[in-house]
Structure 1
């Protein structure tokens, strides 16, 4: 077999594999969309964490998703950055994590790697609720080698195995693909095929230069489908929203108690000032002050704790 024939044969195999991948994705998406439509459920709030190596296009991707210049594309951030915006009527939170280097050598780089891992782990605590999606950002116009695969696996491992159920591979700078389909690009690299398969065959392409918002809308749809597939709505989402409600109600109750305390104390303070003037600042006995104690037992635990502290500050107490 001539070299040209061998090349054509390999290309035909890649094209067939790419076609099969696309068909499989379309079938799964159709099934998940049907489930979502029948349940009449979608997420009003979406939280996404952007992960990826240095110069993968995470800042541009975050800006593209939020529809504004929220992240500074001129610097390499060393800390997590959180930004929010309304996207298609939904509150979207994007957490940007520091990027790792493509490869490393030496103790200093290993220390940097550990710092980045710590920041990736920290990203979960910066989310309003448990992250709905981890978006693994990969630059389209680049090879994806075994080194790249190991670096991705190394950094994603800090999030635990469960995170892979909510991870989507997000290819950036899709315009660089030209007429090549993303499925064909995936099939060209064994390591990239492994990664996409590990993430449940979930992937999306963004053209970072395009102002077409439909590509972001489709990304949100894929996130909804991923959450439906992982059964996120049944447990984590409802639990997080319930905790948010409980915390809000508890803070409101404390605010009411503080306000009531102030209303109780202000008249007594005015009355006390007037009495001091009338008595020409005559010394008062401890018994006279104690006779003016206000009954605050009905004001709740927060105020009782405050009362306890005030009583300890006894102006008549002697050593």
Structure 2
């Protein structure tokens, strides 16, 4: 497949609190840019953009956002903060984003709640959003390495993904099968390899003249308001 790499690559991080979202951003940027916490407490209060330049001159612009289903207040307060942060993220980069990384944690049990979160993102950003603009990032790659070392699974990560059933398989279908395993505690060779895998996937799947822009976000907001007015949904994220 032939494609042309963008000189500036715009990436946004999405995910629930405690899945390693900010640490993943640091791994991509090759430096400690975002504050992360070892426990399940959210430390990201608003959208934050950081920039790094890769060898060869390519620039990465990465935006970290507060956790979906944030743990600092009620569900409604968490949704309101996330909506505010997403608007900030869109405004701070009106040209748009090439890709949104939906961060999950390897080893966690995936539930209907995770599927509801993906449905929430479609309602917020528009139909086809997750399929077109999202990649699943599975953190805790070191745990996958351990199950291989303990002979609990004999295969690659993608083979493990193919073996999974239920909610995870539906999540994978929701992003058209685009998934990468990330070890945020690996050595430099591991970091370099997974960064290259991610950037190659973005280049091959995303950079065909498409960005998720401020205009698309505003159109999605208008569609959502229309559904609310028609009584088809009572409020964004009610199912979440």
Same fold (TM over 0.5): yes
| Correspondence 1:101 to 2:69 | yes
Deviation at 1:130, TM superposition (A): 1.1
| Larger mean Cα displacement after TM superposition, 197-206 or 47-56 | 197-206
Deviation at 1:125, TM superposition (A): 2.1
Unaligned runs of 5+ in 1: 1-33, 238-319
Unaligned runs of 5+ in 2: 213-240
| Correspondence 1:196 to 2:196 | no
Cα distance in 2 for residues equivalent to 1:73 and 1:156: 27
1:55 corresponds, among 8, 18, 34, to 18
Cα distance in 2 for residues equivalent to 1:134 and 1:186: 22
RMSD: 2.4
| RCO higher in structure (CA 8 A, sep ≥6) | 2
Deviation at 1:129, TM superposition (A): 2.3
Larger Rg: 1
Cα distance in 2 for residues equivalent to 1:186 and 1:157: 27
Report what 1:251 is aligned to: none
Cα distance in 2 for residues equivalent to 1:61 and 1:218: 14
Deviation at 1:100, TM superposition (A): 2.1
Once superposed, which parts of structure 1, at least 4 consecutive aligned residues long, lie more than 4 Å away?
Answer: none
Q: 1:62-211, aligned counterparts within 5 Å?
A: 62-74=25-37, 76-89=43-56, 90-101=58-69, 108-127=74-93, 129-164=95-130, 165-178=132-145, 179=148, 180=153, 181-183=156-158, 184-185=160-161, 187-210=163-186, 211=188
Cα distance in 2 for residues equivalent to 1:134 and 1:143: 22
Q: CA separation of 1:204/1:51 partners in 2, compared to 1, >3 Å: closer, same or farther?
A: same
Question: Is residue 102–residue 147 contact of structure 1 (8 Å, CA) maintained in 2?
Answer: no
- Structure 1 or 2: more helix by fraction: 1
Secondary structure of the 2:177 match is coil
Question: Is residue 66–residue 84 contact of structure 1 (8 Å, CA) maintained in 2?
Answer: yes
* Number of positions where the alignment pairs a residue of Structure 1 with one of Structure 2: 194
Cα distance in 2 for residues equivalent to 1:190 and 1:114: 30
